[in-house]
Amino acid sequence: MNNYDVFNGDADGICALIQLRNSEPRNATLITGVKRDISLLKQVDAKAGDQITVLDISMDKNSGELERALNAGAEVLYVDHHFPGDIPAHEMLTAIINEAADTCTSILINAKLKGEFINWAITGAFGDNLKKSAQALAASTDLNADDIQLLENLGIYINYNGYGSDLADLHFEPAELYRKLVQYANPLDFIKSGVSQGKGSDFLKLENGYIEDMASAAALQPHTATENSAVFVLPNEGWARRVSGVYSNDLANQNPDRAHAVLTKKANGNYLVSVRAPINNKTGAVDLCRQFPTGGGRAAAAGINDLPADMFEEFLDKLEAAYK
């Protein structure tokens, strides 16, 4: 019998698994990747008796591999908040799927565990740019304002670390970062031990990288901007690939009534696209992105992994039309 933990390499996927494995320790093969690498179940050679946990990756994008694992006799726990497609009715599958715009996988795991490691759920929610949901969770704890801010920062930094065209773009490979973080039942202990260690700590490496890359992004001007939507185009550089998601979140938070798209140029001439629906109208992002090849996501935040260059203008038109 083999155990597999399959999870998105962003803050939500990592923080969800940290909660689960602090509550239910298990030696497992870790399968993850950069934020956009979501077709992960194909890496599992499932056999009868295997236990597979899948967190924060679209069931719709892994439906064939999920069916294969279930038919092989593996037991699967699948927790996610993206569009699932048809959820199989199978005795070996436990599916906790909720597409609501104000939830994420870390929050779903927190509910399953009845708040056992709520600080990690708060961190994951902040990382997924669900500030109101994170703050609502925090209000049920005795955290002070300074500690809540630290959790928000950590969530943002973990999320930032997951973006890149490949693992070489990242400060930490997601599996490596998970192994570092899972040692702490409370994320505040990771943060504060890192600050006390000083310059060479893992927390400060994330923080300094984030600050430096976001400073580069701050100089950008929009390619187009209206009352309804704004589009920013980033160069084909490592810093740009790393900030594409968190920069999109920042833009959304700064202009909550406007939709935003950040397009990062790729080596093949196409674009990596991050879309954020308006904070005050968290709808439509996945519907927009699924109109294009390699598009997917959820209502509030979605993306396109490889937007063909000749579809650039079509994308701009459809973005603006979607949020008029």
Report residue 93 as tokens: 């599958």
Say what the pLDDT of residue 226 is: 96
H-run or E-run covering 152: helix 145-161
What is 214-270 written as a DSSP string?
HHHHTT---SEE-SSEEEEEE-SSHHHHHHHHHHHHHHHHHSTTSEEEEEEE-TTS-
CA proximity to 160, closest of 195, 204, 209: 209
Say what the pLDDT of residue 193 is: 87
Kind of pairing between the strands at 29-31 and 75-80: unpaired
Cα end-to-end span (Å), the chain: 53
Q: Is residue 239 within 8 Å of residue 208, measured between CB atoms?
A: no
How far is C-alpha 152 from the geometric centre of its chain's CA atoms? Answer: 14
Q: Is residue 265 within 8 Å of residue 236, measured between CB atoms?
A: yes
Q: What are the pLDDT tens digits along the chain (324 aa)?
A: 899 999 999 999 999 999 999 999 999 999 999 988 889 999 999 999 999 999 999 999 999 999 999 999 999 999 999 989 999 999 999 999 999 999 999 999 999 999 999 999 999 999 999 999 999 999 999 999 999 999 999 999 999 999 988 899 999 999 999 999 999 999 999 999 877 776 669 999 999 999 999 999 988 999 999 999 999 999 999 999 999 889 999 999 999 999 999 999 999 999 999 999 999 999 999 999 999 999 998 899 999 999 999 999 999 999 999 999
- In the block, residue with structure tokens 């899948």: 54
Looking at the DSSP assignment, which residues form a beta bridge with residue 238? none
Q: Which domains does the chain have, with CATH numbers?
A: 3-197 (3.90.1640), 224-322 (3.10.310.30)
Q: Would the pTM count as exceeding 0.75? A: yes
Q: Is residue 27 within 8 Å of residue 2, measured between CB atoms?
A: no
Provide the phi-psi class of 37: left if phi over 0, else alpha when psi is between -120 and 50, else beta.
Answer: beta
Say what the pLDDT of residue 164 is: 85
Say what the pLDDT of residue 199 is: 61
